[in-house]
Amino acid sequence: MKKIKVGLCFSLFGLLLTGCAAGDNSIPDTPVEYLYTEAHTYFKDKNYEEAAKYFDEVEKQHPYSIWAPRAQIMTAYSFYNADKYDDAILALDRFIQLHPGNKNIAYAYYLKGLCYFEQMSDVSREQKMTEDALETFKELLYRFPNSVYVADVNEKLKEIYSHLAGKEMSVGRYYQKNKEFVPALNRFQSVLLDYPNANQSSEALYRLAGCYVALGMIRQSEQMLEILNYYYPQSVWTEKTKNLIKKYKKEK
């Protein structure tokens, strides 16, 4: 999936000066301003893993400073940019647990959702990350219905629902191909019930009609055609369903 570039919606970098990069792997006790400046320098240079290391050190060495919550968010954001999503999610979970009232808490949920969203796999594979993205974004909308992220989240939810519907369609087609029509019916029906606005709705109706025809349930297949004619009169799946029922009746 194409990497999404996310701009931070709060001014973290305006506080920073430019500093020099540290040379070794260990970071001794250091003034918080210097640590934050080093982290910012690495981030600007797109050395995101080193930036995450220094931002994390701010919170470790100065947990009660005003810099600590900002550094936690930036640790997660650095990991996100480094494609280290598991590390980013761990950092965000820690931030959410420690700072539930922080002004950037909605952003933490948003970024966590993006970490899952970026890992959504092809519909032929397991959809755990897609489901986690769905749950995280739904929680964001529930907790922060007026946040600045709502519009973008709603757009991503459309893609998530379409993705999950695509998984159901893939499994349903497999059952239908193998003449296991009852489990196929269940899958195609779940697309219509659970993801009614998904792109696959018209195909699901066509395939339901096909399963009904195979089971000799012609009236039910005609009901699918009625729905297709009403909602998708110009769809190729509507025409396919008409031909399917005509063929069945002719053969009978």
Residue-by-residue pLDDT tens, the chain, 252 positions: 545 555 544 334 433 333 334 345 567 677 888 889 999 999 999 999 999 999 999 988 998 888 999 999 999 999 999 999 999 999 999 999 999 999 999 999 999 999 999 999 888 788 999 999 999 999 999 999 999 999 999 999 999 999 999 999 999 999 999 999 999 999 999 999 999 888 899 999 999 999 999 999 999 999 999 999 999 999 999 999 999 999 998 887
- Determine the pLDDT at residue 6: 54
6 domain residue, yes or no: no
For helices 85-98 and 105-117, angle between their N-to-C axes, nearest 10 degrees: 160
pLDDT at 28: 67
Listed as own residue / partner, the contacts of 180-186 with beta carbons closer than 8 Å and 24 or more positions apart are 181/211, 181/214, 181/215, 184/211, 185/211, 185/212
What is the model's pLDDT at position 197?
83
Predicted local distance difference test score (pLDDT) of residue 100:
94
In a domain, 23, yes or no: yes
**CA–CA gap between residue 10 and residue 1 (Å, rounded):** 26
Domain count, the chain: 1
* Residue 143 covered by a domain: no
**Secondary structure, 3-state, the chain:** CCCCCCCCCCCCHHHCCCCCCCCCCCCCCCCHHHHHHHHHHHHHCCCHHHHHHHHHHHHHHCCCCCHHHHHHHHHHHHHHHCCCHHHHHHHHHHHHHHCCCCCCHHHHHHHHHHHHHCCCCCCCCCCHHHHHHHHHHHHHHHHCCCCCCHHHHHHHHHHHHHHHHHHHHHHHHHHHHCCCHHHHHHHHHHHHHHCCCCCCHHHHHHHHHHHHHHCCCHHHHHHHHHHHHHHCCCCHHHHHHHHHHHHHHHHC
* Distances in whole angstroms, Cα of residue 232 to Cα of each of 110, 162, 210, 211, 241: 35, 17, 17, 19, 12
- Residue 62 belongs to some domain of the structure: yes
Residue identified by tokens 């002719």 is 250
Q: At which residue do the structure tokens 């893993």 appear? A: 49
Asked if the structure places residue 51 within a domain, the reply is: yes
Q: Does some domain include residue 228?
A: no
Q: Is residue 53 part of a domain?
A: yes
Contact 55, 71 (CB under 8 A): yes
Which of 171, 164, 174, 173 shows the shortest CA–CA distance to 127?
A: 164
Give the domain extent around 86: 14-91
What are 10's two structure tokens? 């709060």
pTM exceeds 0.85 for this model: no
Q: Does residue 164 lie within any of the structural domains? A: no
| Token pair of 37 as six digits | 């400046």
